[in-house]
Structure 1
Amino acid sequence: MNTKYLYLILISIFIIGCKNQESKISGTIQKEEAKQLITDTVTLKTTAQSNVKVVEKQFEIAGLDRNRQIRVYLPPSYHTSDKKHPVLYMHDAQNLFDKYTSYSGEWEVDESLNQLAKTSDIELIVVGIDNGAEKRMNELSPWKNSQFGEAEGEAYMKFIVNQIKPYIDNNYRTLADKNNTAIIGSSMGGLISHYAIYEYPEIFSKVGIFSPSYWYSDDVFTFTKNNPIPKEARLFLLVGKKEGQGMTENTEKMHTQILSSNHPKENIHMIIDPEGEHNEAFWKKHFTSAIEWLFTNKL
């Protein structure tokens, strides 16, 4: 064979081989890029700040035969200091930090507290307990309701006090005494938070009662009357005039009843927002004010 033709054949084979290899590399790169894009997309499907973590451990609720997940917010300075922090317990954790896990918007608790940490000395650990979905109404009331069924709130609060709080105090740098322990919730979460400070005044000294479902059971009024709390306990009540029938009236009724028990006026604060509706946007609006009042007596 002519040397010239042999040379051309060899060059052609080399070029074809290079193109095939380039095609393989390009395909690999495209596949890797696609995989990374999917990973990035999944990763981006959260609005929670980086200092919010879902605890991998599943916690069994004693007496209710079901497991529950919790989410923990740590202050921005947590990993760069040895400081201990107050702890705030909250319900409906799916709605606190991330719009992608929320069914009706998020409170933006993490963004609010990160900003507050920049402008004040308030740095809290927040423990969010996921709600029980179809069991939510039952778990968040210690009183039976003829329409919604059995009360599981007593077991739910024992779960927080006897299982979740010890876990948090043992695994994080907390100020574990009652003066540094608060609880906040909205709607049915407001009802169970009210119950919490009255049932466990040795555990909680601060409570945020947002849009409380006092309509759920009249027993809450009798229970409150029969179980006065320490004078130093601080209660922040919030309700909106656009929330629905009876919401404002019931909250005002409770406010009056608490004051009539000689609880100091300076330790109970109520806001009636004329534009307030029963949603996360309303609770988010007043969250920072509630934290400042509960922990520093500022509004």
Structure 2
Amino acid sequence: MTGRLFIIILLLPVISIAQVKVLLNVSVLKKTQDTLFIAGSFNDWNPSSEAFMLKQKDSLTYVIELNLPKGNHEFKITRGSWDKTECQKNGTSVANRILNMNVDTVMDIEIANWSDNFKQVKEKYHFGDHVHLVDSAFYMPQLNKHRQIWIYLPKGYSKSNKRYPVIYMQDGQNLFHANPPRADEWAVDSIMDSLIREGSKEMIVVGIDHGGNDRLKEYNPYDSQYGKGEGQAYVSFLVETLKPHIDSNYRTLKDFENTSIAGSSMGGLISLYAIAQHPKTFGSAGVFSPAFWLAPQIYTDVTTKLNGLKHSKIFFVAGDKEGSTMVQNTKKMYDILNSKEKSKNIVFLEKEDGKHTEWFWHREFVPFYQFIAK
């Protein structure tokens, strides 16, 4: 009997993220010497990314072609900074433009005016009496930069000798409720005041302002198309410089079980990286709408750190209206952290109405706070 060798080839489907093309034709009413850029939810709202620079067709017309995941995307046109963003003819701001990407799309945009053509009245913001500046120019030796640092102290802080847990949060300039109110604030202090009145644990919040146009490098521990990553040095600043200063000057509970770190988008990425690298410093993390798309190496790094994270509490939240990959990427990380065994200390919330914006993170701060306060 002649033996025959049968080879069975299984053709498995290739899973890819569906993308569609969008061609944007942008016209301006008056010639400008500046370069135009598109900033949106697909590039972490960077107003001057070379990868999202428009090509000039003639003196009044620009064009850019993008490949974007299916779903909703928000954006604006800038001339390289948020001081030079598009506005209405009379100088008032325009709402974010919206792309609903299901098929290849051509979109025509007319820029009525630019915000820097109008005299800017700088708003003077006032904060609650329990939100203070630690320093308007705190030195960051690991980065050779200075940064404004905020602190929220519970209203009972001045009337007691108690020590308090601490949450370190990124994007400090948007954290606290201001008067007049701002559209891009988390209003964390208002949430905490309300929760504390209802009986929740009191905590201190430390807010670190971001580095402006350096944010995409400073909150990324890895090199990317935006430049050399500074995230490792930034996290070293938090652990080696800022936390010791806060612990020395305020009544804090210093141990890892009473120290948390949190942030959104790039701030969510660096918060997860921080707890993975320093689980004996940060015992819990709030990872809101994380920008894992810009740092895929984070999956490998976290996988190698699983043993160190077995006592950590990590809260993930992402919204269905943040693009097709946001929930998928966040769920992938959640699954990695639960790969050995399901942990009640790792939580992932998917919100149908969630968008990449501060009102969403403001709302989801409540379940995060309740989670770490247990």
Amino acid at match of 2:270: I
Q: Is residue 135–residue 150 contact of structure 2 (8 Å, CA) maintained in 1?
A: no
Cα distance in 2 for partners of 1:284, 1:170 equals 30
* SS of structure 2 residue aligned to 1:167: helix
Q: Deviations over 1:220-257 (max 9, x none)?
A: 01101111133221110000000123111101111111
| Percentage of pairs with the same residue | 40
Matched, 1:55 2:112: no
- In the other structure, the counterpart of 1:219 is 297
Distance 1:121 1:81 in 2: 17
Q: Any idea what the Cα deviations from partners look like across 1:254-289, whole Å, max 9, x if unmatched? A: 111111033x42111110000000000000011011
2:318 and 2:326 in contact (8 A); partners too: yes
Alignment of 1:226-245 (within 5 A): 226-228=304-306, 229-245=308-324
Bigger CA radius of gyration: 1
C-alpha distance 77-100 of structure 1, shift in aligned 2 (>3 A): closer
1:14: which partner in 2? none
Choose the corresponding residue for 1:171, options 249, 260, 263: 249
In the alignment, the residues of structure 1 paired with residue 242 and residue 141 of structure 2 have an alpha-carbon distance, to the nearest angstrom, of: 11
Q: Give the residue type in structure 2 aligned to 1:144.
A: D
**What residue is the counterpart of 1:153 in the other structure?**
231
Deviation at 1:56, TM superposition (A): 3.1
Secondary structure class of the residue paired with 1:69: strand
Letter of the 1:142 counterpart: P
Q: Is the 8 A contact 2:166 2:205 kept in 1?
A: yes
8 Å contact from structure 1 (residues 225, 261) kept in 2: no
Aligned length: 252
Alignment of 1:237-256 (within 5 A): 237-256=316-335
Contact (CA 8 Å) 1:70, 1:127: kept in 2 or not?
yes
Residues 101/187 of structure 1: CA separation in 2 closer, same or farther (3 Å cut): farther
Distance 1:48 1:143 in 2: 35
The residue aligned with 1:200 is 278
Within 2, Cα distance between the matches of 1:189 and 1:154?
13
In the TM superposition, residue 63 of structure 1 has moved relative to its aligned partner by 3.5
Query: By percentage of residues, which structure has more helix?
Result: 1
Choose the corresponding residue for 2:262, options 184, 189, 200.
184
- Work out the CA distance in 2 between the residues paired with 1:250 and 1:97: 28
Cα distance in 2 for partners of 1:251, 1:118 equals 32
Deviation of 1:47 after TM superposition, in Å, equals 5.4
Residues 171 and 63 (structure 1 numbering): CA distance in 2 closer, same or farther, change over 3 Å?
A: closer
Counterpart of 2:345 in structure 1 is 267
CA distance in 2, matches of 1:217, 1:102: 33
Q: Give secondary structure in 2 for the equivalent of 1:220.
A: helix
Match of 1:90 among 146, 169, 178: 169
CA RMSD, 1 decimal? 1.9
Counterpart-to-counterpart distance in 1, 2:182 and 2:223: 25
Q: TM-score, normalised by structure 2?
A: 0.65
Tell me the SS of whatever aligns to 1:56. strand
Could you list the runs of 5+ residues in structure 2 that have no partner in the other structure?
Answer: 1-120
Q: Distance in 2 between matches of 1:93 and 1:237?
A: 20
